[in-house]
Amino acid sequence: MSRVQGFEQFRPLLFSIAYRLLGSVDDAEDAVQETWLRYADAGAEPDSVKAYLSTVVTRVAIDQLRSARVRRESYVGEWLPEPLLEDPYQDPERSAELAESVSTTALLMLERLSPPERAVFVLRDVFGFEFPEIAAAVGRSEAACRQLAVRARRHMHEGRPRFAADRRERAELAGRFFDALRGGDVEALREVLAADVRTVGDGGGKAPALARGIVGADNVARVFARLVPSLLAIGGSIETREVNGEPGAVFRDAEGKVLNTVSLDIRDGRIATIRAVANPDKLRHLGPVADAYKVSREAREAMRPPG
């Protein structure tokens, strides 16, 4: 097997590791590309290609993560991970861990960890690497990595929701939510929203985002029942998809360009948090991006009473 073939075999795994560490599709792809360049320039073939490549991509991602944290300190508004519609790496034996770890909720909890804690948790608890491999990847002793794993698990456990909805329940509730959105049905929206539901919007200062601080079923229902029908009135569409393994949708303009993504955090049989990513820099990997400000103006104009 050539080096190119060997690398391509593990590319999905490398991307999935990097994405969970960085919360960015573009940065994860950059980390994978840098890993290939280092592998291509390496001398002797490593005993384990998987271990070697995983070590390299982890180290590259940790370096990127440290600089990314500095950039996020000056980020405009709320920061959310770049939306991921499909995880390229699948492992039937770890399907539950993989699905949970890519959710927006989990990625935001990972943000609380230090880069070494984050790397150890992802490699051990998500992908099942052994501690000798993890120690080589993060440059710490095995004992130190075990301590990092304990701390990381404690932080992640503290932030994990107590009652997670099963897949069928989430899909059914999301279906009712998006049907109510399309119809602008305030009452139907109230029925699927938690009493203290909140919205989080990430526009990065470059696109309209859901206003910060929309809290409460009545407020959220009224805002969404007004905004979404106005988009549909000018030819926009809602493409229901899983976003980061959670029920969600891609909103598009009349030309099919991406406006934003929405993901739903469902707890105790109700939608607890609605997260929307509208920053165009975080949507380009999904295809052509719409001019959100222009679409917003057109939607408001379309809903204005005649005369």
Q: What percent of the chain has pLDDT over 70?
A: 95
* Rg from Cα positions in the chain: 21
Q: What percent of the chain has pLDDT over 90?
A: 75
Instruction: Look up tokens 């002793």; give the residue.
Output: 141
Residues 6 or more apart whose CB falls under 8 angstroms from that of 134 comprise 119, 120, 123, 124, 142, 145
Residue 213 has pLDDT above 70, yes or no: no
Q: Using CA atoms, how far apart are residues 85 and 88, in angstroms rounded to an integer?
A: 10
The residue-averaged pLDDT of 169-191 equals 96
Higher pLDDT, 159 or 149: 149
Residue 62 has pLDDT above 70, yes or no: yes
pLDDT for the residue 44: 83
pLDDT for the residue 68: 75
Buried-state track 5-25, b at ≥16 Cβ within 10 A, e below 16: ebbeebbebbbbbbbbbbbbb
pLDDT for the residue 43: 80
pLDDT for the residue 209: 76
Q: Using CA atoms, how far apart are residues 216 and 211, in angstroms rounded to an integer?
A: 13
Give 27-36 pLDDT, tens digit per residue: 999 999 999 9
Query: Rounded to a whole number, what is the distance in angstroms from the first to the last CA of the chain?
Result: 71
> For 198, how many CA atoms within 13 A lie in the half-sphere containing its CB?
5
What integer best gives the mean pLDDT of the chain? 92
Give 102-140 pLDDT, tens digit per residue: 999 999 999 999 999 999 999 999 999 999 999 999 999
Give 218-272 pLDDT, tens digit per residue: 999 999 999 999 999 999 999 999 999 999 999 999 999 999 999 999 988 999 9
pLDDT for the residue 66: 82
Residue 303 has pLDDT above 90, yes or no: no
Residues 6 or more apart whose CB falls under 8 angstroms from that of 43 comprise none
Residue 155 has pLDDT above 60, yes or no: yes
The answer to whether the predicted template modeling score (pTM) of the entire model surpasses 0.95 is no
Residue 297 has pLDDT above 70, yes or no: yes
